[in-house]
């Protein structure tokens, strides 16, 4: 099958923006897209961590740009895209990876944390889409990859992640409708649905649980092998390196021992 770039650098000439790139899955995605030839703008709040990853990518011969950005702040997101486009060129790929979750039962009323999850996982995703979608449609090409979750695919028998699950259900529903809207404009929309992935976020949330009901359900480390961030990055790479007429719309990736 003809690819648009050299096979070993299938993303050569492409510009990607990855949010939540300072840690975990986003850092792995940034490394893999850069290794595939993309010029990658890496966005997050912890600029020091971004610069460390940028240096790693540069040493490997890749091109990465570290951009401090809080996806909850629409003005910062617009500046992220403007800076990226003036430095690297028009954005071809947006990976909405930034996301948070806390494992708390709603009856305990951690309402500020409810709002934070909505602000990052929903409003943050919308801020980023809002900054790129018009340009992608005008150029008749683009790819939006939204980091959903197995928890966006179905309600698994867990407690403590009701608001998080709702935020990922939003991502799924919005993505499916957006996909219909822009498919004739040459724009693709992919949802990635990971199961449990060993990242700093995953460890942090499991080790800061307070509710006994949650603690009884979640143990850490997990009693089976969970996924590495690089596995999810490979799923993203697969989706964004398909020929323009091919749409990989959903990829569900789970630990073998913990299927939905």
Ligand X SMILES: CC(=O)[C@H](N)C(=O)O
Binding site for ligand X (CB under 6 A): 101, 149-151, 194-196
Could you say whether residue 42 binds ligand NDP (CB under 6 A)? Answer: no
SS3 73: coil
Span from 3-11, 39-47, 173-181, 245-253 in contact with ligand NDP (CB under 6 A) = 39-47
Smallest distance, ligand NDP to C-beta of residue 180, A: 23
CA distance 164 to 153: 12
Nearest approach, Cβ of 54 to ligand X (angstroms)? 26
Please tell me the distance from the alpha carbon of residue 185 to that of residue 217, in angstroms, as a whole number.
45
Report how far residue 167's alpha carbon sits from residue 26's, in angstroms, rounded to the nearest whole number: 18
DSSP class of 83: H
- DSSP code of residue 110: -
Question: Binders of ligand NDP among 144-203, rule CB under 6 A?
Answer: 147, 149, 194, 196-197, 199-202
Q: Does 114 bind ligand NDP (CB under 6 A)?
A: no
> Out of ligand X, ligand NDP, none, which partner does residue 147 contact, by CB within 5 to 8 A per kind?
ligand NDP
Q: How far is the CB of 58 from ligand NDP (least distance, A)?
A: 19
Residue among 98, 161, 190, 94 at smallest CA distance from 134: 94
Query: Catalytic residue numbers?
Result: 164
């Amino acid at each position: 099958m003809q690819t648009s770039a050299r096979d070993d650098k299938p993303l050569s000439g492409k510009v990607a923006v990855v949010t939540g790139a300072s840690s975990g899955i986003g850092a792995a995605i940034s490394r893999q897209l850069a290794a595939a030839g993309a010029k990658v703008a890496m966005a997050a709040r912890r600029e020091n961590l971004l610069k460390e990853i940028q240096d790693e990518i540069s040493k490997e011969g890749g091109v990465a740009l570290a951009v401090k950005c809080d996806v909850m702040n629409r003005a910062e997101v617009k500046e992220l895209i403007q800076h990226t486009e003036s430095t690297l060129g028009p954005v071809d790929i947006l990976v909405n990876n930034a996301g948070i979750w806390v494992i708390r039962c709603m009856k305990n009323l951690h309402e500020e944390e409810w709002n934070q999850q909505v602000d990052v996982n929903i409003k943050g995703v919308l801020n980023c889409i809002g900054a790129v979608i018009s340009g992608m449609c005008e150029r008749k090409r683009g790819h939006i990859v939204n980091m959903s979750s197995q928890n966006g695919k179905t309600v698994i028998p867990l407690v403590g992640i009701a608001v998080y699950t709702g935020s990922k259900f939003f991502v799924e529903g919005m993505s499916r409708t957006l996909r219909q809207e822009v498919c004739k404009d040459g724009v693709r929309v992919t949802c990635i649905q990971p199961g449990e992935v060993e990242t700093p976020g995953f460890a942090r949330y499991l080790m800061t649980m307070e509710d006994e009901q949650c603690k009884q359900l979640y143990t850490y480390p997990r009693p089976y092998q969970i996924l590495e961030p690089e596995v999810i990055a490979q799923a993203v790479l697969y989706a964004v390196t398909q020929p323009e007429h091919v749409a990989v719309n959903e990829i569900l990736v789970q630990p073998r021992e913990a299927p939905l």
